[in-house]
Amino acid sequence: FRTLLSDYDFPDNGISQAVPAFPKGTDFVILNNPVLRDPSFFSEPNRYIPERWTPELELTFHAIMFNQGPQRCPGKELAIFIVQSFLVHYIAKSGLGLCAQKIDTENVPQMINPCTIEIL
């Protein structure tokens, strides 16, 4: 949710109103999907173009991302902490070691210097 910090009227509505269209303090929701699919904000909005999200270009967009801004989702950080805690606990209890067995890298794309990890 977002809260208006000042009264808002629609521009050039041609109607004189004693009460603003949206008074200060009104709560509203910004839906990400319609904004992210709006061609006035993003060229070719339905096409995957990863270059859009380079740090230089990201600042020019109107997107409100999941993990940015003053009201970012605290669940993201909590989820990362829980997964890290689980891995540390699991590895500490079971241990890890390298296997002598090698992985067949011919059929696995983008594999560089693989090794097999064995849970002891």
Quick: pLDDT tens for 11-25.
665 655 655 678 888
* Distance of alpha carbon 6 from alpha carbon 78, whole angstroms: 34
* Distance of alpha carbon 86 from alpha carbon 76, whole angstroms: 15
> For the chain, what is the mean pLDDT?
72
Please compute the mean of the pLDDT values over residues 50-78 and round it to a whole number: 65
Query: What percent of the chain is modeled with pLDDT above 90?
Result: 5
Contact status, residue 9 vs residue 20, Cβ threshold 8 Å: yes
pLDDT at 68: 58
Cut 0.75: pTM above it: no
Is the pLDDT assigned to residue 51 strictly greater than 80? no
Burial per residue of 75-89, b for 16 or more beta-carbon CB atoms within 10 angstroms, e otherwise: eeeeeeeeeeeeeee
Contact status, residue 88 vs residue 95, Cβ threshold 8 Å: no
Query: Averaging pLDDT over each range in 23-27, 63-67, 101-105, which range is the top one?
Result: 23-27
Residue ranges in 42-107 assigned as alpha helix (H): 55-58, 74-94
